[in-house]
Amino acid sequence: MSQDFAAMASVIVSADLQLTIPSAVGRSLGLSEGQRFQVVRYHDRIELIPLRPVQALRGFLKGMDTDLDRDGDRL
Cα of 25 vs its chain's centroid, Å = 13
Answer whether residue 1 shows pLDDT above 50: no
Higher confidence at residue 23 or residue 3? 23
Look at residue 42 and give its three-state secondary structure.
Answer: strand
Calpha distance 21→9 (Å, rounded)? 9
Q: Is the pTM of this model over 0.85?
A: no
User: Per-residue DSSP letters for 4-69?
Assistant: HHHHT------TTS-----HHHHHHTT--TT--EEEEEETTEEEEEE---GGGGTTTTTT------
Task: Please give the CATH number for the structural domain made up of 3-57.
Answer: 2.10.260
> pLDDT (tens digit, 9 = 90+) per residue, 44-75?
999 999 888 888 778 888 888 888 888 878 76
Q: What is the mean pLDDT of residues 14-32?
A: 91
